[in-house]
Structure 1
């Protein structure tokens, strides 16, 4: 995985950030603290977060899913882009990094917009469906354990409304998806979902080489 856009030389990547990134101070501080975490590579890139915020505003999202929270950057960047009555349902199983997330959500004044569920995300998503929340979400971001990517996608597709957007992270997987010599389970799961999405007529898709690869799937 990568926490900056793949395939750009450092001087060009730095230029890209210098002329495009408008990162609020609270997000910058969160990113700097996360850089000291042993799993810092799980952090999304700041240009990806800004792009997601733009998408959320473009589609007029009010209700979103964040599947895989870590230290909370994706939840926070989306919450900041939502209107005052917006809501993020955030899913994670780990109390340690999400305690960092909670702290920054409070600092940013958006904790009231984020409903964190500490439980296996599949359970949380299935409970949302059982509660009658199918087709009520505008946007979903999938960035959790790769072994369940396809399951998360299928449940998100039920929860998102027509015209809603699912964003799937790490679809280029540091380039390993294109290397036939790499046959570990996580890489194979991502490859399989990429192939499935290419043929899935339920959605309109675009795979973008931003950060570690981001697929956008709009529900038809």
Structure 2
């Protein structure tokens, strides 16, 4: 296994803003704007570290998984994979809090990567709880399974390998209390529609969707395929009368979605499409 030491690159609106302000401080030396820019930079740079320091610590198993993910050289992996895809400490605790608050027993994760969020959710479930985690890449799934094997809560995770659309169709009617979507952005609309119309979401269940602020691209650019996909998804959800939602500006954005009425097997007018 190759290693790739070094800090993760900025991939959230707050971290990107902090990096840009840091660059401006250096360029503004001697211009009279340096002090003002430094104050703005410090406000942005300190945001994520402060939030993390005030959040309950992650478990030793999650720490080990995060370190293993950071140490692996993803340049040799198939597809556009990188350590920054890991959910991480604060988001993991947020998801665990959702599991506790919803009294979830059955959790579905669409897009697992190396398994940090799956393990964080599994740790929050009761002994008879379970996480069904979907992953398209068999090598990444094998990496995650190795991490789960050495963890106390790993036995609660059932990894399913294959295209998410096909796996979701096979799971139709198998209801889950909490669903976490963190897969290919172009598939978000289809995944949510399947979840809402095939009985995958239990009555009173909650859907959490990751990366819905996508590095600020939906409102600030640049115009990218993923940025457009997220902008389209957000607009579709906002216009869907079957659901209500809130966008939480945590990390790269998490949208929480609940049904306002049971949608049945057929999409209604204004459905997410």
CA distance in 1, matches of 2:204, 2:243: 9
Q: Report the alpha carbon displacement of residue 36 of structure 1 after superposing the two structures with TM.
A: 2.8
Q: Which residue of 1 aligns with 2:254?
A: 214
User: Is the alpha carbon distance of 1:185 and 1:11 closer, same or farther for their aligned partners in structure 2, counting shifts above 3 Å?
Assistant: closer
1:25 maps onto 2:66 in alignment: no
Q: Residue 193 in 1 paired to residue 233 in 2?
A: yes
Does residue 186 of structure 2 align to residue 111 of structure 1? no
Contact in 2 for aligned 1:68/1:90 (Cα 8 Å): yes
Matches within 5 A, 1:149-188: 149-158=188-197, 159-179=200-220, 181-182=222-223, 184-188=224-228
Question: 1:69 & 1:91 partners in 2: Cα distance?
Answer: 6
Structure whose alpha-carbon radius of gyration is higher: 2
Aligned residues: 215
Q: In the aligned structure 2, how far is the partner of 1:171 from the partner of 1:157?
A: 18
Point out which structure has higher relative CO (alpha carbons under 8 A, 6+ apart): 1
TM-score, normalised with respect to structure 1:
0.91
Could you say what secondary structure the match of 1:90 adopts?
strand
Distance 1:144 1:18, change over 3 A: same
- Structure 2's unaligned 5+ residue stretches are 1-9, 18-42, 75-81, 261-273
Corresponding residue for residue 32 of structure 2: none
Q: Distance in 2 between matches of 1:15 and 1:179?
A: 25
Per-residue deviation, residues 105-138 of structure 1 (Å, max 9, x unmatched): 1221223311111111111110111xx32xx210
Secondary structure of 1:20's counterpart equals coil
Match of 2:187 in 1: 148
Unaligned runs of 5+ in 1: none
RMSD: 1.9
Deviation at 1:3, TM superposition (A): 6.7
Q: Could you tell me the TM-score, scaled by structure 2's length?
A: 0.74
| Contact map agreement 1:45 1:211 (CA 8 A) in 2 | no
